[in-house]
Amino acid sequence: MSKLRVGLVGLGFGAEFIPIYQAHPNAEVAAICQRDPDKLKKTAEQFGIEGGLYTSYEDMLADPSVDAVHINTPIADHARHSLMALEAGKHVACTVPMATSVEDCERIVRASRESGRVYMMMETVVYSREFLFVKELYEKGELGKVQFLQASHQQDMDGWPSYWEGMPPMHYATHCVGPVLGLERKLAKSVSCVGSGRIREELAAVYGSPFAIESCHIQLEDSDVAAQIHRSLFDTARQYRESFNVYGSKKSYEWPLIEDEDPVMHTLGKPEPEIPERVEVPDYAERLPEPIRRFTGRGVYDADEHQHLSFTQGGGHGGSHPHLVDQFVKAVLEGHDAYPNAVESANISCVGILAHESAMAGGEPKAMPEFTLAKK
């Protein structure tokens, strides 16, 4: 296989990825799937797609020309659509989270293993330019020993599709779990979480989740390092922020408090006024095949008014989209795992699921399931 032939399902946010696959030298868009035939036709015309147009996901999975599927459907459908694809012999790239139950995460891990197909959860933060910058500092030894990790994801979800209403904050925690586990490519072994505040009664009633903010501590496996994350979705005044802080023995990195500001680097041993300094984060487009490098900038496929809200509200997801596509394509064509693989994706997703259970139980510690602790 010289090119990975991809079918995409879920063409709201998912349409952001169509031109990246079209431009990638080792991939092509073999099919797209959208239930509404008018929207399907419009998307096909917009991107010059003439064949492989499906209103049925089952029919797309039956197409032998489709090697892999990229799933961008609503959260509640992620597990079912991933399992269907793996059972049909397709490789899977799925937007976050992997699933909303521990049981479904385990089913996907098992299906990936039994099918021998690649599963990759498309977590944007661990391929953002900010994370790649910190990862590079860590790998060069400039941070020294990592002492503590901290991340947050705060977002106002009022006005989003109805399935978001009242969602437990930690059920969509991968954007802050991913970086604290991904820096040293560790797994979480236990979590403890507390809830704070209260959202509107009509929202709390949907999922039975009352908290405005959930704050979780994570103990890492085979490590003396702990991490802290917090999440909010409703009734909390905060500009959109996906943040990642790392505190090391030599240097520490702190995400900016406000969008479009530069992050701060703290260096041990300098005179007090000189300890912090603003640093400029470079782009990492040079790591990508030349035809898709341009997609690390804002504006993936069209004018701003056509971009999905998750892309514009999230500041372009740190230029991560072409990196995600490239990693998935390489993993399949070269025959190796992508990061995060199925087990790592399950570990990341189950942190959020169990963190919410912990919060509902008053902070009771929760051990991670065994199937999320074996990297293969």
Domain range summary for the chain, segments of one domain joined by +? 4-123+325-338, 125-286+350-372
Q: Which two tokens stand for residue 104?
A: 């479904």
Decide if pLDDT at 309 tops 60.
no
3-state secondary structure of 281: coil
pTM, to two decimals: 0.94
What is the average pLDDT score of the chain? 94
Confidence band of 376 (pLDDT split at 50, 70, 90): low
What's the pLDDT score for residue 217?
A: 98
pLDDT tens for each residue of 61-91: 999 999 999 999 999 999 999 999 999 999 9
Q: What local confidence, expressed as pLDDT, does residue 314 receive?
A: 45
d(CA 369, CA 107): 13
275 three-state secondary structure: coil
Across the range 346-363, mean pLDDT stands at 98
| pLDDT value, residue 297 | 80
Q: pLDDT tens, 266-304?
A: 999 999 999 999 999 999 999 999 999 999 985 554 544
Cα-to-chain-centroid distance, residue 319: 13
Give yes or no for residue 313 having a pLDDT over 70: no
pLDDT in tens, 314-327: 446 789 999 999 99
User: 125-286+350-372 — its CATH code?
Assistant: 3.30.360.10
Band (12; pLDDT cuts 50, 70, 90): confident
Whether residue 22 is predicted with pLDDT greater than 60 in this model: the reply is: yes
Residue 257: C-alpha distances to residues 9, 109, 264, 312 (Å):
35, 36, 10, 18
pLDDT at residue number 104: 98
Q: Which CATH architecture has domain 4-123+325-338?
A: 3-Layer(aba) Sandwich (3.40)
Q: What whole-number distance in Å separates Cα of residue 124 and Cα of residue 120? A: 12
